[in-house]
Structure 1
Amino acid sequence: MQMKSINKKRVLQCIQEHAPISRAEISAKLSISKPTVSILVDELIQEHWVVEKGNGEASSQGGRRPIQLYFDEQAAYVAGIDIGGTKVKMVISDLSGTIVSQCNFPTNQYLEQGLMIQIRDKLNHLVKHAGIKQEAILGMGVGVPGITDTVNGLIVDAPSLNWMNYPFISEAKKYFSFPIHIDNDVNVAVLGEQWLGRAKNKRNVLFISVGTGIGCGIIIDNQLYRGTTNAAGEMGYMVTNKNDMRQNFHPLFQRYGYLESVAGGKSIGKQLTLKLQKNREHPLFKKATETELSAKDAFFLAKSGDLLARQVIDEAIEHLGFGIVNAACLLNPEVIILGGGVSQSAEEILFHVRKLVDQYLPSSVDIYPSQLADNAGVLGAVSLFLREHESIIRHSW
């Protein structure tokens, strides 16, 4: 019985990867007898995982044209949720990663109380909007910005959400009857890029997210690497200037690391604001005394030729570049993907980072901006569920 289950999974995966494909071609590829393949395919059709097209009529060259098999990407759906420090993004996706419905809402408004209720209500709305049945949802994948105990469903430490040892899965089970899988948001994003983005068909991948904080998702030999205590990839804690650390360094936020305190998006805005406050002649002096500028402001000013902004950006990019060199030296990936909020200025960042990497890295590596961009987290959450949930369609890309 176990062998039949294994073969059934193999047949389904073969159809997913090679459709359109005939029963005879599956038999040849998997070295499983034609009668066995035919029985398994018939079961998959009855269970609505597979559809067949064509009627086996004779072709113009004579002989019967084989019936072609396709994976039914709309056989079921998965919810993907990306919980960020400022907003929560939600999607419903089919099994191919096509988004059929999506929404987002501000995190802070619901963080203290009512977050699960809001997620439940929004999900019900998305299901209705997509025109699918509630029972068509297989389950939900969730990405969270912090160290996550995936086995016990705990958010161990998420500074931007002020969560410590938060029992996410047990809380979620009060509102959802389907299975849920959680992981660190950057781990989730690297899965998304490997499934549908720039890292497709790559087995060794780094996804570096540069937002308020800096994190890194790591895939080694096609497996997500979480580390002993699920804290692998906390790249924001790298030190890229030992003298700075010795001189009474203070992190940007409580429990934040050195690299994200000097090269993260919040740091870029803060450093520019401090410089402007010391320069009364600058056109933005008054604004800088009233409010803190953003990384977006800094990149815009630098692009328009502002020397102070250029100085801040160059300093941050240099720190980030050396952090990437350190990570790439250690892990030797095939590709590095740059994502997160600051990656909206990815082309400018990448130009300088590539120069540093080419100069100091012992072997070359491709570096690209995220292809999935703002959807890396939610589609990665869908990918997480499809990888982790034990079912016939469990993926292991």
Structure 2
Amino acid sequence: MNTANHRLLRDINLSLVLQMIQEQAPISQRDLVQHTGLSPSTVFTLINQLHASELLRECGYATSSGGRRPKLLEMNPEGGYFISVDLGGTKISIGVLDLVMHLRQQWVYPTPSEGGEGVFQKLMEIISDTCQYCESQAWKILGIGICTSGIVDCLNGIVIEADNFGWHDFPLADRLKASLGFVPVIEHDTNAAAYAEFVYGAARGQSNVVYVSIGTGIGAGLILNGRLFTGSNDMAGEIGHITVHHDGPMCRCGKRGCLEAVASGPAIARAYVQRRGEQVGVDWVDGKTVIALAEQKDAISYEIVTDAGKMIGHTVGNLTNILNLDTIVIGGGVMAAGGVMFSAIKEGIQSVLLPRMRDTPHISKASYGPSAGLVGIGALSLARMFNAVSLSDVGGGHSGAWGSPAWQRQHGCHS
């Protein structure tokens, strides 16, 4: 076997061992041999390399079946860190997560109102500031991920359309690489939140999941057969633009009666103002306000929120019939207020499910709130590391995905 093929095989085996430790920890070396199918000598060598790179640590002993008690292994939380950015229309959140995806630090900034180039420059500024903070803590950066609203070509790192930022066919990954010298992981914000729930949250251990985000818009992230599903051009999950009312209000997409136009946060607020007329001022009403009033049994609010929830439930239930999903997770900013909306969504789902499917899907609220996108894009950055890992990369010698040593020195990242 030539040197290149030997390295490729080693990196594949290393990725396999890393993933198994993440999923099964605490786990012994003996169990790693059994679960991966690799030879004991190969696993022993890889574990020693991972120890040397500080990605792995011992965490106690397993029960002995005769002889010495096997040592248990887990990911070392302080073995490396990921910078995650959640790029939203009104605010930009940035956080630092450790190797087991605990959010160690977080900052929130208003999104520049002028949009366009101003948003990009702000993004570069806060990433640089965060790298300097990591340097002050002697934290080694392994990857950087950005999740964003809008329509995103994740493979090429292009934001196809994000009206909130004034971006159209914006080459985000290439611009960041040219300015900062690294290639970040780019993903849609709803997909990132779905991945967080799948790996660490309410959908952990499931295979076929829909995460529904209800806020300014309505979207869905799909996990099918244990993998994030984005469709042929990264537009899977746009349930907010399914027509539910043919002569309904105009949607921002240009169609009438989309689910988003009748059941999102702004749509709920609009319906409340229309029903109450001059009795309320539109400036103080938003979707969360109306949902909070519904929780207090205000009759008009209760009816509006219940109707919206049932429409969302009907759409999600039909999607469940099509895909035979086992888990439905409901999240997003509007859902933070509580039970009336969630109950109406569940009722709507159950009313359209096929009889043999009514007991199948587990329906729950999201485990993560505003930090869902940060955790999800961090987890996706970690997954990229698993899929393209090399110990020289982790050690800071790689000039591509994780940032070159020169870039890390310039921008305050510890290598």
Tell me the TM-score range normalised by the shorter chain.
0.7 to 0.9
Say if 1:257 and 1:182 are closer, same or farther in 2 by CA, change over 3 A.
farther
Identify which of 378, 385, 388 aligns with 1:382.
378
Give the corresponding residue for 2:388: 391
Distance across 1 between alignment mates of 2:66 and 2:384: 46
1:244-323 equivalence runs, <5 A: 244-245=247-248, 249-251=249-251, 258-277=258-277, 285=279, 287-288=280-281, 291=283, 293-323=285-315
Tell me whether 1:123 sits opposite 2:127 in the alignment: yes
Q: TM-score, normalised by structure 2?
A: 0.83
Pairwise CA distance, 1:207: 0.6
CA distance in 2: counterparts of 1:3 and 1:17, whole angstroms: 21
> Under a length normalisation based on structure 1, what TM-score does the superposition of the two structures give?
0.86
Post-superposition offset of 1:62: 9.1
Does the 8 Å contact 2:311/2:345 carry over to 1?
no
Contact 1:350 1:367 in 2 (8 A): no
Match of residue 47 from structure 1: 53
Corresponding residue for 2:216?
212
Shifted more, 216-225 versus 358-367: the winner is: 358-367
Hey, what does 2:335 align to over in structure 1?
A: 343
Contact conserved, 2:96 with 2:106, CA < 8 A, in 1?
yes
- 1:177-234 C-alpha deviation (Å, 9 max, x unpaired): 3330112111111111111110111111101111111111011111211112211111
Aligned counterpart, 1:23: 29
Where does residue 229 of structure 1 map in the other structure? 233
Aligned partner letter, 2:384: E
| Secondary structure of 1:188 counterpart | helix
> Residue type matched to 2:388 in 1?
S
- Three-state SS of the structure 2 residue aligned to 1:386 is helix
Cα separation, 1, equivalents of 2:126 and 2:366 = 27
Match of 2:106? 102
- In the alignment, the residues of structure 1 paired with residue 179 and residue 330 of structure 2 have an alpha-carbon distance, to the nearest angstrom, of 35
| 1:81 and 2:88 are equivalent in the alignment | no
1:12 to 18, 38, 42: 18
Bigger shift: residues 363-372 or 318-327: 318-327
* 1:199 matched residue in structure 2: 203
- Is 2:132 the counterpart of 1:132? no
Backbone CA RMSD of aligned residues: 2.8
For 1:24 and 1:304, how far apart are their aligned partners in 2? 57
2:158 alignment partner in structure 1: 154
| Partner SS state of residue 311, structure 1 | helix
**Distance in 1 between residues matched to 2:65 and 2:143, nearest whole Å:** 47
With over 3 angstroms needed to count, the CA separation of the structure-2 counterparts of 1:40 and 1:311, relative to structure 1, is: closer
Asked if the contact 2:11/2:388 (under 8 Å) is kept, the reply is: no
Q: What is the CA-CA distance between 1:305 and the residue it aligns to?
A: 3.2
Q: CA offset at residue 264 of structure 1? A: 0.5
Which blocks of at least 5 consecutive residues in structure 1 are unaligned?
279-284
Q: Percent sequence identity over matched residues? A: 27
**C-alpha separation in 2, matches of 1:255 and 1:111:** 25
Measured after TM superposition, the shift of residue 73 of structure 1 is: 2.4
What is the Cα deviation at residue 110 of structure 1? 6.3
The 1-side partners of 2:254 and 2:323 are apart by 29
Runs of 4+ in 1 over 4 A off after TM superposition: 53-56, 59-63, 127-131, 252-257
The whole-number CA distance in structure 2 between the counterparts of 1:236 and 1:60 is 54
Partner-residue secondary structure (3-state), 1:143: strand
Higher mean displacement: 377-386 or 32-41: 32-41
Which string of whole-angstrom CA distances, capped at 9 and with x for unpartnered residues, describes residues 296-354 of structure 1? 22122223333222232222223212212222122221111111111113422121221
SS of the aligned residue for 1:161 comes to: coil
Q: Distance in 1 between matches of 2:235 and 2:183?
A: 24
Letter in 1 for 2:374: V
Q: Aligned partners of 2:70 and 2:270: how far apart in 1? A: 65
User: Please, which moves more after superposition, 28-37 or 335-344?
Assistant: 28-37
Aligned partners of 1:124 and 1:218: how far apart in 2? 32
- Segments of 5+ residues of structure 2 without an aligned counterpart are 1-5, 394-415
**Compared CA separation, residues 360 and 62, structure 1 to 2 (3 A):** closer
1:370 aligned partner, one-letter code: A
Q: Which moved more, 1:204-213 or 1:323-332?
A: 323-332
Higher relative contact order (CA 8 A, sep 6+): 2
SS at match of 2:107: strand
